[in-house]
Amino acid sequence: MSDVLILNGRLIDPANGVDAPRDLLVRDGRVAAVEAPGALSGVEAAEMIDATGMIVAPGLVDVHVHLREPGQTYKETIATGTAAAAAGGFTSVVAMPNTVPVNDTVAKLEWMLDAARGSVVKLFAMPAATVGSMGVELTDFDALRGAGAVGFTDDGKPVLEDHVMRAALVAAARAEVPVSQHAEDTRLTGGCSMNAGPVAFRLGLRGMPVEAEARIVERDIRLLREIECVEGLRPHLHVQHVSTARAMEAIRSAKREGLHVTCEVAPHHFCLTDEAIGDYDTHAKMNPPLRAEADRAAMVAALVDGTADCIATDHAPHAAYEKVQEFERAPNGITGLETALGLALRMLHRGQGMSLSRVISLMSTAPALIATLAGRGALGAGHFGDVVIFDSGAEWRFDAAASRSKSRNTPFDGAEMLGRVKATICDGRVVYRG
């Protein structure tokens, strides 16, 4: 590990209320000094980065990625997925458990987190909340937490039964980590492949109603209320990839009530509508699906007004041949680690006037807090040396063929981006150079 000295940048650190010219020294993997410009000019470092005209910020944190290893390494590996993360400015990612086999035991979790997997950035994981993600029997929350779990989820599937979700929330509260819920009432979505609405009608496809998402969110909020009243516990519910105005309004009301609810919005849900499907473009197929314009606008509004706590990519790579088939047969999901920052800056910073500090908070500070990643998401002295350096005014187009991911399934191939990553530093190591 070598010292890294970053000079002449505009440091934005929402956790510490800093938005000013600063020089930054990372030593032995930690932030050693944050000083006014010139104060560190006499310091010698093995690596010096001139950040003139650049933003220097805490490394980005993604609490929702699918890395496909073990079991589906033809789509992605931990090494390739985290290389894509580094290229996108991410220094920490949280892997979902829907691997083959499902990550639901200590042995499987430890295998995933082992350095032998070749992770380029810091890898965390949320193991399954239920055995095999079957929604019946809870996994061993205490043992998994002791092995490094930062939360629990059956992502890809909901925890559908009330009594099982209640037990999961209680167990997670005692372990002091969140339950991340894939909010989908699958009793309403069987055989559906996109959002219910005029586009689905035109294409002759069965559509998922907004109620399928909202009902699970509303049910989970009711369970939180009951647990606080009866058990005296304060569980943390994190709602994944919110896509509907109705679900977001339920979250907004729960926050006003004082319940511990957080949520994430994916870039595709604040950038695109179901119109992007066009004539059955499977690169625009995901779950939850792209929604109507009113729902997309509601996601933007929630990010602006603070109801939505963070941005998460739901990076979900698939092989090309899997997407090149009939729309209803193609798998759900798109890649997202290399496009998230560029889309957030274009749509929220330039499009909505959101401050750079707020964008960085949504993509670094807040997700680090949600997943209880101590020492991440901030650049105060003693914090981990996780840094992203980017040019916030750079305009460019995403080229999926040049992606560091194994897969290319994205609706954003050729899309305009704002803000280009110049360097990513994780635990004091430069892991990407633009």
State whether CATH 3.40.50.720 applies to domain 61-374.
no
User: In degrees, to the nearest 5, what angle opens at C-alpha 76 toward C-alphas 310 and 401?
Assistant: 90
- 236 confidence band (pLDDT: 50, 70, 90): very high
Q: Where are the alpha helices (DSSP H) in 194-310?
A: 198-203, 210-231, 245-257, 267-271, 293-305
Q: How far apart are CA 307 and CA 4, in angstroms?
A: 37
Residue 381's pLDDT is 96
Range 228-256 average pLDDT: 97
Residue 2's pLDDT is 76
CA-CA distances (angstroms) from residue 269 to 198, 293, 336? Answer: 18, 10, 12
Range 323-339 average pLDDT: 98
pLDDT tens digits for range 94-117: 999 999 999 999 999 999 999 999
Q: How far apart are CA 283 and CA 323, in angstroms?
A: 7
- 41 confidence band (pLDDT: 50, 70, 90): confident
pLDDT tens digits for range 136-151: 999 999 999 999 999 9
- 185 confidence band (pLDDT: 50, 70, 90): very high
Range 31-41 average pLDDT: 95
Residue 42's pLDDT is 87
Domain assignments of the chain as residue spans, ordered by start: 61-374
Q: How far apart are CA 309 and CA 32, in angstroms?
A: 29
Range 332-347 average pLDDT: 98
Residue 387 pLDDT exceeds 60: yes
Residue 307 pLDDT exceeds 70: yes
Residue 83's pLDDT is 98
Residue 1's pLDDT is 56
Q: How many helices (H) and strands (E) does the chain have?
A: 14, 18
Residue 47 pLDDT exceeds 70: yes
Q: Could you say which of 13, 104, 314, 386 is catalytic?
A: 314
pLDDT tens digits for range 62-86: 999 999 999 999 999 999 999 999 9
Scanning the structure block, which residue is given the tokens 């339950």? 179
The share of the chain scoring above pLDDT 70, in percent, equals: 100
pLDDT tens digits for range 415-434: 999 999 999 999 999 999 99
Residue 122's pLDDT is 98
Q: How far apart are CA 104 and CA 154, in angstroms?
A: 10
Range 158-185 average pLDDT: 98
pTM above 0.75, yes or no: yes
Task: Judge if the upstream peptide bond of residue 101 is cis by omega within 30 degrees of 0.
Answer: yes
Nearest CA among 63, 54, 46 for reference residue 21: 54
314 is catalytic: yes
